[in-house]
């Protein structure tokens, strides 16, 4: 009898043979500068925990206190019986931090994009998307049933071409949504959001930015890309983000007008039909927002380390691409070489994973490093030395 699931084993086997499968390592303890990875004390150099907040005392204490006062779980989805005061306070403080009328917290960044995009646009509408946008954006767009157009990566001139062509579409589109990552997670470059916003205004299009990797990194006090470019909420209608990166916890969110938030929590099924965050998670997210306002030194130190590491890697002769942020790719070409470099770094005490096809082009495999404000200068020196040693051994340098 034919096995209807044989494709599972076969396709996984193909990935293993091509060295494109994920090999999971185990974190034994907190995500900290020196972490226990597969039982080995290793320098953490690929975490999204940009500011080291996931192990910050204020976040841990806030989570513990919320468990004492509110229990372990919320008991429901928020529209029914799971809407706690801590959720409401988090959204109030987040909006204040973002200098927006309102904010709404989702269960994850992926749930935000996949749940909101299909409600903003649908049949008869057009989504105009950067060609390197995150997979959660791509999935959200696919769910929308809107027509799709793709513009060249971070190319405002090509975006303008697409928008001008859209003006002559018959019948006319009901709505046009321009959507882009703020910081692109594989290359670390920044979207030209000022130019994108200007084009949106000129062509009457909504602008949606996924700033997952810009929060805590760009802008005044880590407020993100909208702040970085000094843009208004009239120019960028939807600012999306996540608590799982610089904020050090988990969850997605949007900030913008009160109308946007009212619309979203009545229409987004990923928000309406998913259990709300346990009170400990919401309280830890709230504490992270307060830490960013109270302790600006984390963002400052992140950038000091970033500038030093980029210069050192470039001086050594590594290809670090077009990065403008604490995401620094070390591009080596073929996937097997990226895997060998990652393994040798791990042996030398640095944990930095390979990123291979299909997440990047076949000839653009890399080690994606992400800087962390909690590292010391000696830690950064240790990482640089390990890359130099491994690079020479593998004849990358």
pTM (2 d.p.):
0.95
Judge contact between 292 and 299, C-beta under 8 A.
Answer: yes
Catalytic site includes residue 245: yes
In sequence order, the 6+-apart residues with CB closer than 8 A to the CB of 201 are 234, 235
| From 56, 87, 213, 298, active-site residue | 213
**Burial class, 237, CB count within 10 angstroms (exposed 0-12 / middle 13-18 / buried 19+):** buried
Catalytic site includes residue 213: yes
**Burial class, 73, CB count within 10 angstroms (exposed 0-12 / middle 13-18 / buried 19+):** middle
pLDDT for res 369: 97
Instruction: Kindly provide the b/e burial profile for residues 108-125, where b requires at least 16 CB atoms within 10 angstroms of the residue's own CB.
Output: bbbbbbbbbbbbbbeeeb
Query: Within the chain, which residues score under 50 in pLDDT?
Result: none
| From 228, 245, 253, 298, active-site residue | 245
d(C-alpha 367, C-alpha 339), whole Å: 8
pLDDT for res 21: 82
Which domains are delineated in the chain?
Answer: 19-48+296-393 (3.90.1150.10), 57-294 (3.40.640.10)
- Closest Cα to residue 50, out of 225, 211, 248? 248
pLDDT for res 287: 98
| From 114, 185, 255, 276, active-site residue | 185
- Long-range contacts, stretch 300-306, CB < 8 angstroms, 24+ apart: 301/373, 302/50, 302/51, 302/216, 302/217, 302/326, 302/371, 302/372, 302/373, 305/371, 305/372, 305/373, 305/375, 305/377, 305/380, 306/371
pLDDT for res 13: 92
pLDDT for res 317: 96
Judge contact between 385 and 62, C-beta under 8 A.
Answer: no
Judge contact between 252 and 105, C-beta under 8 A.
Answer: yes
Catalytic site includes residue 185: yes
Q: What strands, in cross-sheet order, belong to the sheet with 40-44? A: 34-37, 40-44, 350-351
d(C-alpha 237, C-alpha 70), whole Å: 34
Residue 34 β-bridge partners: 43
In sequence order, the 6+-apart residues with CB closer than 8 A to the CB of 112 are 106, 136, 240, 242, 252, 253, 254, 270
d(C-alpha 224, C-alpha 94), whole Å: 12
Judge contact between 298 and 373, C-beta under 8 A.
Answer: yes
- 127-185 pLDDT, tens digit per residue, is 999 999 999 999 999 999 999 999 999 999 999 999 999 999 999 999 999 999 999 99
pLDDT for res 124: 96
- The size of the chain, in residues, is 397
Judge contact between 153 and 129, C-beta under 8 A.
Answer: no
pLDDT for res 23: 82
């Amino acid at each position: 009898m034919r096995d209807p699931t044989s494709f599972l084993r076969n396709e996984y086997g193909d990935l293993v043979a091509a060295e494109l499968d994920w090999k999971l390592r185990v974190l034994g303890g907190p995500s900290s500068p020196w972490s226990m990875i597969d039982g080995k004390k290793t320098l953490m150099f690929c975490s999204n925990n940009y500011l080291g907040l996931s192990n910050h005392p204020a976040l841990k204490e806030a989570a513990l206190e919320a468990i004492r006062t509110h229990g372990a779980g919320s008991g429901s989805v928020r529209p029914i019986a799971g809407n706690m005061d801590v959720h409401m306070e988090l959204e109030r403080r987040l909006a204040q931090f973002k200098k927006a009328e309102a904010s709404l917290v989702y269960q994850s960044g992926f749930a935000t994009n996949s749940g909101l995009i299909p409600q903003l646009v649908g049949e008869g509408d057009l989504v105009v998307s950067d060609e390197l946008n995150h997979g959660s954006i791509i999935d959200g767009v696919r769910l929308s049933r809107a027509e799709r157009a793709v513009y060249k990566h971070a190319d405002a001139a090509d975006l303008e071409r697409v928008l001008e062509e859209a003006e002559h579409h018959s019948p006319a589109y009901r709505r046009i949504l321009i959507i882009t990552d703020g910081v692109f997670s594989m290359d670390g470059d920044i979207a030209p959001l000022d130019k994108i916003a200007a084009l949106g205004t000129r062509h009457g299009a909504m602008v949606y930015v996924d700033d997952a990797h810009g929060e805590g990194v760009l802008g005044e006090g880590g407020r993100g890309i909208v702040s970085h470019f000094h843009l208004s909420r009239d120019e960028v209608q939807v600012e999306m983000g996540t608590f799982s990166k610089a904020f050090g916890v988990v969850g997605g969110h949007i900030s913008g007008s009160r109308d946007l938030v009212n619309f979203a929590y009545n229409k987004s099924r990923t928000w309406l039909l998913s259990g709300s965050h346990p009170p400990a998670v919401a309280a830890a997210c709230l504490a992270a927002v307060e830490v960013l306002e109270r302790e600006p030194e984390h963002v400052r130190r992140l950038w000091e380390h970033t500038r030093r590491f980029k210069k050192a890697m470039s001086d050594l002769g590594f290809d670090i691409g077009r990065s403008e942020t604490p995401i620094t790719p070390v591009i080596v070409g073929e996937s097997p070489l990226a895997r060998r470099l990652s393994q040798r770094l791990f042996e030398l005490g640095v944990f930095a994973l390979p990123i291979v096809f299909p997440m990047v082009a076949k000839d653009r495999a890399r080690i994606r490093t992400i800087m962390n404000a909690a590292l010391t200068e000696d830690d950064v020196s240790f990482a640089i030395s390990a890359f130099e040693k491994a690079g020479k051994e593998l004849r990358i340098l």
